[in-house]
Amino acid sequence: MAKYRQIREDLRALIESGEYGPRALLPSLTDLTARYRVARNTATQALKELEQEGLIQSEGGRGWIVRPRPRPRRHGIDRYSRSTWAAGKAILIAETASQGMVARQQIRELAEVEAPEVVAVRLGIPVGTTVWVRRRTTFIEDRAHQLADSYYPLDLVEGTAIRQVDTGPGGGFARLEESGERLDEINEELAARMPTSREAIDLSLPPGTPVVELIRTTYDISGRAVEVMWSIIAGDMSSFSYRFKIPD
Amino acid sequence: MAKYRQIREDLRALIESGEYGPRALLPSLTDLTARYRVARNTATQALKELEQEGLIQSEGGRGWIVRPRPRPRRHGIDRYSRSTWAAGKAILIAETASQGMVARQQIRELAEVEAPEVVAVRLGIPVGTTVWVRRRTTFIEDRAHQLADSYYPLDLVEGTAIRQVDTGPGGGFARLEESGERLDEINEELAARMPTSREAIDLSLPPGTPVVELIRTTYDISGRAVEVMWSIIAGDMSSFSYRFKIPD
């Protein structure tokens, strides 16, 4: 085995076994070069690879530490309960508060845009149809957590606060129901992948952190798709849970 | 910007824009060193980082190519339909076949073990209680796809084919119902992370590929948890979808 691989695997074993816990300081470069009789570049290569896998992080002059894992936000089906948003509470704020976390969101863009394919297919409209988009970044405990872009058919948002920065009490769901759309079902599609460079920057992701791509489609009682939220979520800050009846 | 970063970002932009599509051959090391006036080690570092992010892969002597993405298996709620397994069909085989894929599974271990915490909490038993485990690896189109470990309370598997290599028609769900457990609900918990070194080996994961950790708990009609499946799934081969009514 190449020497750098040996160093990498030894350190990995110490971390995965828990012998080096969260925020533990790893042996210094000087220690590693002496113990394994290698050049500094060789030891650095081992550390860089562990960083890419999300196991360690550099603390500048202090050296390298085991990366602490934030406590994840749990995304449950219950966050969508009508009793929350119909009572004027924001879904994001209410769910995270129930987990002892403080969340906020920041609008990145409000605009009419051409529906991309992912959205058009789910809204049941031709690609390129003009739709309304709300792009926002959500933060939990002041770390960026989610890039959430919600797309709406134009006719549903005309004259509503969904076109405003502040959608008002209960948010978009409450405004859609006020306009006469009785909301009924949600479909969530999830997949995990590594972020693009842009997503890694926008979410301030440490190296070696995957994202969850979540596409949420909301349907009204007639079966019409009234909103598609296309969301990129920091993988190390999130878990998802779905409880359902076994279908017939 | 360091030269290797420049090379990395230029190549990344070409891949993310789609200009270099799946399996496209990247410029050779000789090309890169000439174009950017750098040492071979510098160009290699850029390529290695893109490999760690899952964007490219080495083809040995041929050079580096854009990593092709396999078509993912879609995990829908419908795969659990009683009409599938109660009719003697295997859930895995039936779902993947409906997507035009061939799947199989291989048993890694059948044993009595002490319930780990993740399992015990969900089965509602003390940590360390003896339970029955079926560890298996599933393959789709002959690539390892999932490490699925199913844990059962001992009393539920006594004298059933769940203790055998072949659980018989309809698998574990069918056997549990035969024993008098009317199955009712499933809870699925998901999170994305980078694999441990062991998981990467067992799933033959290319570098830069996250896994989805799926913990599935199955409940009978009385609310008793009758099985916990703890599963590690190749992120680049999987998507998940959940459709549900908006709760009251």
Residue of B nearest to A50 (CA): B52
- Cα–Cα distance for residue pair A134/A148, rounded to 1 Å: 8
Within B77-210, strands assigned E span 103-114, 130-140, 143-153, 183-193
Residue of B nearest to A243 (CA): B187
Cross-chain Cβ contact B193/A49 below 8 Å: no
Average pLDDT for B156-174: 95
Q: Chain B: nearest CA to A214, how far in angstroms?
A: 9
Cross-chain Cβ contact A235/B191 below 8 Å: yes
What is the per-residue pLDDT across A94-103, written as a single tens digit (0 to 9) for each?
999 999 999 9
Q: Chain A: nearest CA to B163, how far in angstroms?
A: 24
Cross-chain Cβ contact B210/A194 below 8 Å: yes
Q: What is the pLDDT of residue B71?
A: 79
Residues of A in contact with B192 (CB under 8 A): 192, 210-212, 235, 238
Residues of A in contact with B248 (CB under 8 A): 81-83
Q: Chain A: nearest CA to B155, how far in angstroms?
A: 23
Q: How far is CA B61 from CA B8, B29, B55, B238, in A?
A: 21, 11, 19, 30
What is the per-residue pLDDT across B118-143, written as a single tens digit (0 to 9) for each?
999 999 999 999 999 999 999 998 89
Element of type H or E holding B214: strand B211-220
Q: Chain B: nearest CA to A90, how far in angstroms?
A: 15
Q: Chain B: nearest CA to A154, how far in angstroms?
A: 23
Is the pLDDT at B1 greater than 80? The verdict is no
Q: What is the pLDDT of residue B124?
A: 97
Domains and CATH numbers, chain B: 3-66 (1.10.10.10), 73-241 (3.40.1410.10)
Q: What is the pLDDT of residue A70?
A: 79
Residues of B in contact with A41 (CB under 8 A): none
Residue of A nearest to B85 (CA): A248
Q: How confident is the model at residue B197 (pLDDT cuts 50, 70, 90)?
A: confident
Q: What is the pLDDT of residue A207?
A: 86
Q: Which of B190, B203, B236 to mutate to test the interface with A (most CBs of A within 10 A)?
A: B190
Residues of A in contact with B188 (CB under 8 A): 241-243
Cross-chain Cβ contact B192/A245 below 8 Å: no
What is the per-residue pLDDT across B36-67, written as a single tens digit (0 to 9) for each?
999 999 999 899 889 888 899 999 888 999 99
Beta carbons of B109 and B133 less than 8 angstroms apart: yes
Within B16-102, strands assigned E span 56-58, 64-66, 73-76
Cross-chain Cβ contact B49/A52 below 8 Å: yes
**Nearest beta carbon to residue A246 from set B49, B184, B193:** B184
Query: What is the full per-residue pLDDT of chain A (248 aa) written as tens digits?
Result: 688 889 999 999 999 888 999 999 999 999 999 999 999 999 998 998 898 888 999 998 889 999 988 778 899 999 999 999 999 999 999 999 999 999 999 999 999 999 999 999 999 999 999 999 999 999 998 899 999 999 999 999 999 999 999 999 999 999 999 998 899 999 999 999 999 888 999 999 988 899 999 999 999 999 999 999 999 999 999 999 999 999 99
Q: ipTM surpassing 0.85, yes or no? A: yes
Alpha carbon distance, N-terminus to C-terminus of chain B: 54
Residues of A in contact with B241 (CB under 8 A): 187-190
Is the pLDDT at B184 greater than 90? The verdict is yes
Within chain A, strands assigned E span 56-58, 64-66, 73-76, 103-114, 130-140, 143-153, 183-193, 211-220, 225-234, 238-245
Residues of B in contact with A241 (CB under 8 A): 187-190
Q: Chain B: nearest CA to A83, how far in angstroms?
A: 6
**How many other C-beta atoms are found inside a 10 Å radius of the C-beta of residue B150?**
23
Q: How confident is the model at residue B147 (pLDDT cuts 50, 70, 90)?
A: very high
Average pLDDT for B73-100: 92
Element of type H or E holding B225: strand B225-234
Q: What is the pLDDT of residue A136?
A: 97
Q: Sort strands B183-193 and A143-153 into parallel, antiparallel or unpaired.
A: unpaired
Q: What percent of chain B stands above pLDDT 70?
A: 100
